[in-house]
Amino acid sequence: MEFFNLIKERYSVREYKDKEIPVELLEKVLDAGRIAPTARNCQPVRILVAKSKEVMAKMNELTPCVYGAPIVLIICSDTNESSGQPNGRSFAEADASIAATHIMLAAADVGLGTVWVGRFDQDEVRKALSFPDELMPFALMPIGYPADTSVPNPRHTDNKELSEIVKYI
């Protein structure tokens, strides 16, 4: 799909088909996250693919925003590997966000739907899934084939004008 059409047409999917994603297709989407740029190319991003019945049951307990997706991607950064600046600012969350955006757009490009979920408690996810201390989840991303009845949120196209968000200085 042409890029600008892709970014205009993709939407947050909140209803999924009960259909498995072929491994090759999932890995193509995950590869988009792998090649995403990171600060100083430290590559701290880690992506956990939640798909077993046990882990998906935990995901449904941790957030109301799984929406029946067959898989939830847990997009994290290894805080020991993320780049920082002298002022102590870490790029761990930014790096994970860039990877998540690449994944979201790659998924749309191959006909899969996603929704970026921030409605979860990082510590609860880490505890429930026994993450090591350095692994911090920044986004959950249900992924799958959109249900035939899936439609964008009515506010999907309510965008501010460019002049409202850009100022030339």
Q: Is residue 130 part of a domain?
A: yes
Which residue range(s) make up the domain with 12? 3-145
Whether the Cβ atoms of residue 10 and residue 24 lie closer than 8 Å to each other? no
pLDDT, tens only, 138-152? 999 999 999 999 999
In a domain, 81, yes or no: yes
Residue 120 located in a structural domain:
yes
DSSP 148: T
Q: What is the CATH number of the domain that holds 85?
A: 3.40.109.10
- To the nearest 10°, report the CA torsion of 11, 17, 19, 20: 40
- Please report whether residue 168 resides in a domain: no
In a domain, 80, yes or no: yes
40-63 pLDDT tens trace: 999 999 999 999 999 999 999 999
- Give the distance, in angstroms, between the CA of residue 95 and the centroid of all CA atoms in the same chain: 12
Residue 27 CA, chain-centre distance (Å), reads 14
Helix axes 92-109, 23-34, angle to 10 degrees: 140
The answer to whether residue 30 is domain-embedded is yes
Q: What is the pLDDT of residues 102-153, one digit of tens each?
A: 999 999 999 999 999 999 999 999 999 999 999 999 999 999 999 999 999 9
112 lies in some domain: yes
Three-class SS state of 95:
helix
Q: Three-state DSSP class for 33?
A: helix
Dihedral-angle region of residue 2 (phi above 0 means left; psi in -120 to 50 means alpha; beta otherwise): beta
pLDDT tens-place string over residues 70-79: 999 999 999 9
Alpha-helical regions (H) of 110-158: 122-128
Do the domain assignments include residue 167? no
Q: Number of structural domains, the chain?
A: 1
